[in-house]
Amino acid sequence: MAGINWYKYASPANFYPLAGKMIPWFAIPAAILFVVGLYVGFFVAPTDFQQGDAYRIIFIHVPAAWIGMMLYVLMAIYAAIGWAFNARLSSMMASAISITGAMFTFLSLVTGSLWGKPTWGTWWVWDARLTSTLILLFLYIGFISLQASIDDSRRADRAGAVLAIVGVINVPIIYFSVQWWNTLHQGATIRLLGKPTMAPPMLAAMLIMLAACWLYSIAVVLARLRCTILEREQSAAWAAEAAGSPARQPSWGA
């Protein structure tokens, strides 16, 4: 690995083709793992004696919640690097991550409430975890809308970085305050997972799905990053050429 000149790939022009080559390496394993994970989750993992089959939604819910949280931190790190070292690619990476992160956070809220209805008997409770995930979604929305309303991409990158860093400092404070608020208002807290131990096939299915979601995230973020690079570098000759040829047409992910 030592032989690679990493700085070379900090330039959008060099990273663009590299990202194009990398995407299949993440997208195809992601697709395979999704199939395997869903198979294990639906057909191998036993039915839960308390929650019935409804629990199976955690195979998508838990990975989505984890990734939603981790992508926010990752986004802030990329944004901070982009701001501190004036690395454009890093800032573009932060913008690309923000959409995927918001999507996974939203997905975890939706699947959580779908799971809550049969299990808790209600779509929504003001549980500490639910509330802090909702606030996390608000933070993502703030970051995305700030960047969307600034036309100058340099200013958008830096303003986003300040907001992301402030948000990251706030996340533990928010999490702590929500937890404190929750224990104040509710006598009994409902645990997200009723049982402390999981059957091995359940755990396996969840970990496979987690890996699949990570690989999917990387592939989609890279695809979006390629679009951003083309958009921002449209004045450069190589980018116009790359955008013009049908073979290099960037594909939009979810």
Chain positions contacting another protein, by CB under 8 A: 135, 138-139, 141-142, 145-146, 149-150, 154-155, 158-159, 162-163, 165-167, 169-170, 173-174, 176-178, 180-181, 184
Between residues 83 and 216, which has the closer beta carbon with respect to another protein? 83
Question: Which residues fall within 8 angstroms of residue 31, CB to CB, at 6 or more apart?
Answer: none
For residue 83, the minimal CB distance to another protein (Å) is: 8
For residue 250, CA distances in Å to 4, 199, 226 come to 26, 42, 7
Task: State in angstroms the smallest separation of the CB of 150 from another protein.
Answer: 6
Smallest gap, in angstroms, from Cβ of residue 212 to another protein? 30
**54 or 165: whose CB is closer to another protein?**
165
Shortest gap between Cβ of 250 and another protein (angstroms)?
A: 28
Query: Which residue, 119 or 179, is less far from another protein as judged by CB?
Result: 179
Query: With b meaning 16 or more CB within 10 Å and e meaning fewer, what string describes 29-55?
Result: bbeebbebbbebbeeebeebeebeebb
Map residue 6 onto helix, strand or coil.
helix
Minimum CB distance to another protein smaller for 101 or for 250? 101
CB atoms within 10 A of CB 56: 19
Q: How far is the CB of 67 from another protein (least distance, A)?
A: 20
Nearer to another protein, 31 or 165 (CB): 165
Give CA–CA dist 132/69, Å, rounded: 10
